[in-house]
Structure 1
Amino acid sequence: MTDGPSQYPPPGAPPPEDPLPNHAGYAPPGAAPAAPPAGAAGSPWATYPTAGRPGAPLPGLVLGAAHKPGAFPLRPLTLGSIYDGAFRIIRFNPKATVGAAVMVTAVAMAIPVAITAVLTFTIGLTIDASADTTVDSSVSDFLGILAAYGSLILSLLLAQIGVILVTGMIAHVTRAAAVGRRLGLREAWDATRGKRWRLIGLATVINLAFLLMTVAYIFLWAIVVILSPNPWPILAWGVITVPAFVCLCCWLWVRFYYLPVPALMLEPVGVFGAIGRGWFLTGRQFWRTFGIALLTILITQVASSMLTGPVTIIGQLSAIAWVDYAALILVLTQAIALIISNAFVAPFVAAVTSVQYVDLRMRKEALDVELMREAGIITG
């Protein structure tokens, strides 16, 4: 490996084996952190300096119109460029993207698998082939079922928290990839230091807001149903408010929910400041942002179903064949399916979202000029 910067190879090239170990702020364990680049102090977000003299172009970089030192061009991006960039980010940073998602999901789902296995081989925890719980008069059986499925729900929550942290890591991976840098798992994790609890707080605030809005809407439905003497007002209420509520959720998803994570990770803002940044960046860009986000969700859900479908079918058939171990089989296959799903869905969605964040900043704040300067494409 040369002393020059780690660049993203052209399409079709195999990924490098090891990430560049010495980024600013990402020193190996026990080593002194590298000094920030000149001009980095006071920068509005994290910087990843180029090697060599300040302002020098990356070795082998052709100064073309696209200016692509990393995973995607430093210019306003098309849909194809966004998806290509997301795939390249995952391909050339596998440990910090897929590896991180698999690790946090596997650790979380190991809990219900272990508990169910212990209960299966001690008290004989079983369920019938139709997945209805079979509870006899024994209190121990009931408590065993409660422990098994309670631990599964808890592990799903822990896996979701882990995915949130992985999303924050991928924001830094994307930021580095914009100027041709590759972050390893440790480097990406270290980059989130100081923002992890804020990230969890951000997810809590946003999800709580949507939950309260949904509860309020359901409460209004209950009032209408109780006070209406005939079904016609109820039908009219549904025809008018259901589409309106869906549209409101979509609008708030893009303006309120979609971009705060990369903003929180990469800018010196807090929870509500990140929400404000997401609101600003999606202003007058709603339909484009919504279209790409919706298409990404549809693609990942279809792909996830195709990947996890065989595992689910095998689990159900195996539960019918071995009734005595049905609970363990179903929990185990659920864990495997979730690991497979998160290995694909979480990194890709997070990468697309982070690339969209960079794209909107290039469109609105000329971030491409700053990134070109950092990559050494332009000077001054």
Structure 2
Amino acid sequence: MTEQFPPPGSPGQQPPPPGSQPTAPYVASYGQQPVPVPRPVQPGMLGAAHKPGAVPLRPLTLSDMYDAAFRIIRFNPKATVGSAVLVAAVAMAIPVLVTTFLSLGLDLSLQVDDTGELSGDVGGLVTSLGSLGLGTALQTIGLILVGGMIAHVVAAAAIGRRLSLEQAWAVTRGKRWRLVGLTATLGLTLTLVIVVYALSWIPVVLLADGWREPLVYGFVSVPLFVAFVVWFWVRIYYLPVPALMLEPVGVFGAIGRGYHLTRGAFWRTFGIALLTVVIAQAAGTVLALPISFLSQAALLGGLPSEAGLLVLVLSQALGSVVTAAFVAPFTTAVASLQYLDLRMRTEGHDITLMQQAGVIGA
């Protein structure tokens, strides 16, 4: 049975009263076709909204989204922070274990000798740093799946349900590889755009007679390129993940849904998304800062040079886990809330959520 989400103002999960009927389990909202129903916010409408869970069922303000995101993380830490920490810890354990093993038999010192060359076993150094790259790649893939889980956690919290870690993982079945494919498609597309723009500089530089042509080209093209990347991030990249997880669509259908939902809401979506990224990255940096200071202090405090690489890898791994613990759940939760908000504003999705929550009849 799916647990109920604590009501607003509740200090924690409340047990159901004796004799009460069990709540209906959370079911992914597949198969529901969007119905265009404009939902303009009217004066006095915001205060009268139903709130069976973490989200008021009406168009959301910025404070609504942030309050809901923190409430979801606070009252469901296992399926949000716990999943992100688990994925990051398992992935980052790889470089730590590899470097520890190599340190037992090889010289992995990071010192430069009198000839200016790096001392120590070069093969061991490359293997250790390569394992760090592998761990980072695996963490990225894992956090993609965590993002899909959190989209379901947010959708369930909106109708007063709280998914466990196991339930959140289970409801992503059938969508996991699509989610990885979606992320790969978007990443490759953005990489291709960047490569094409970089290649466009080659004829400009080679055929230029002096510095004026490249300067003019950069003055014109750089702002246009930045504007296109921002447009791509908001209209194409930002919302397909919750659309893929919560609707019966495939990879390209999810991209189309994200594009459709952000129509006419570009600046609002961009502003909230940018603010969220800035807050999350700043908080992640602050959280990881003590680990960086401790590692620097250890290296400067007379630690043997052979242990320098292990300390470096260990600090990078711990910092990555600590950062992922906050950044991934918060940013993904806010993106999922923006997805729900846009659907409530343009498709009357609040009515559907009320029906799922049992606030109104179907």
Partner Cα separation in structure 2 for residue 94 and residue 17 of structure 1:
16
Partner Cα separation in structure 2 for residue 357 and residue 41 of structure 1:
15
2:139 to 159, 167, 173: 159
Mapped pair 1:128 → 2:129: no
Partner Cα separation in structure 2 for residue 247 and residue 42 of structure 1:
36
Aligned to 2:174: 194
Mapped pair 1:302 → 2:282: yes
Instruction: Give, in angstroms, the shift of residue 221 of structure 1.
Output: 1.4
- Compute the RMSD of aligned alpha carbons: 2.4
Instruction: Give, in angstroms, the shift of residue 316 of structure 1.
Output: 2.3
Mapped pair 1:379 → 2:358: no
1:182 to 162, 175, 180: 162
Mapped pair 1:316 → 2:296: yes
Q: Deviations over 1:133-158 (max 9, x none)?
A: 9644x7xx121111100010111010
Aligned to 1:367: 349
Q: Deviations over 1:31-75 (max 9, x none)?
A: xxxxx79xx884459xxxxxxxxxxxxxxxxxx711000101000
CA contact (8 A) 2:84 2:146 kept: yes
Mapped pair 1:68 → 2:57: no
Partner Cα separation in structure 2 for residue 264 and residue 14 of structure 1:
33
1:236 to 204, 216, 238: 216
Mapped pair 1:348 → 2:334: no
2:226 to 246, 251, 265: 246
The DSSP-based 3-state class of the residue aligned with 1:76 is coil
What amino acid sits opposite 1:6 in the alignment? Q
- Structure 1 residues not aligned, in runs of 5+: 26-35, 46-63
1:205-354 correspondence runs (5 A): 205-320=185-300, 321-322=302-303, 323-354=305-336
Closer/same/farther in 2, CA of residues 134 and 302 from structure 1, 3 Å limit: farther
CA contact (8 A) 2:8 2:54 kept: no
CA contact (8 A) 1:128 1:326 kept: no
Partner Cα separation in structure 2 for residue 210 and residue 196 of structure 1:
21
Query: How many percent of aligned residue pairs carry the same amino acid?
Result: 52
What amino acid sits opposite 1:341 in the alignment? T
Q: Deviations over 1:167-189 (max 9, x none)?
A: 00000001100100000100000
Aligned residues: 340
1:89 to 44, 51, 72: 72
Partner Cα separation in structure 1 for residue 175 and residue 251 of structure 2:
10
Partner Cα separation in structure 2 for residue 316 and residue 98 of structure 1:
27
Aligned to 2:60: 77
Partner Cα separation in structure 2 for residue 4 and residue 220 of structure 1:
54
Instruction: Give, in angstroms, the shift of residue 22 of structure 1.
Output: 7.8
Mapped pair 1:24 → 2:25: yes
CA contact (8 A) 1:172 1:265 kept: yes
What amino acid sits opposite 2:340 in the alignment? V
Q: Deviations over 1:350-377 (max 9, x none)?
A: 0000000000000111000111112121
Instruction: Give, in angstroms, the shift of residue 319 of structure 1.
Output: 2.3
Closer/same/farther in 2, CA of residues 17 and 107 from structure 1, 3 Å limit: farther
Partner Cα separation in structure 2 for residue 360 and residue 43 of structure 1:
16
Partner Cα separation in structure 1 for residue 143 and residue 197 of structure 2:
29
Q: Deviations over 1:57-111 (max 9, x none)?
A: xxxxxxx711000101000000100111111111111100000000000000000
What amino acid sits opposite 2:123 in the alignment? L
CA contact (8 A) 2:5 2:13 kept: no
Moved >6 Å (runs of 4+): none
Partner Cα separation in structure 1 for residue 277 and residue 258 of structure 2:
19
What amino acid sits opposite 1:287 in the alignment? W
Partner Cα separation in structure 2 for residue 348 and residue 180 of structure 1:
19
What amino acid sits opposite 2:174 in the alignment? G
What amino acid sits opposite 1:294 in the alignment? L
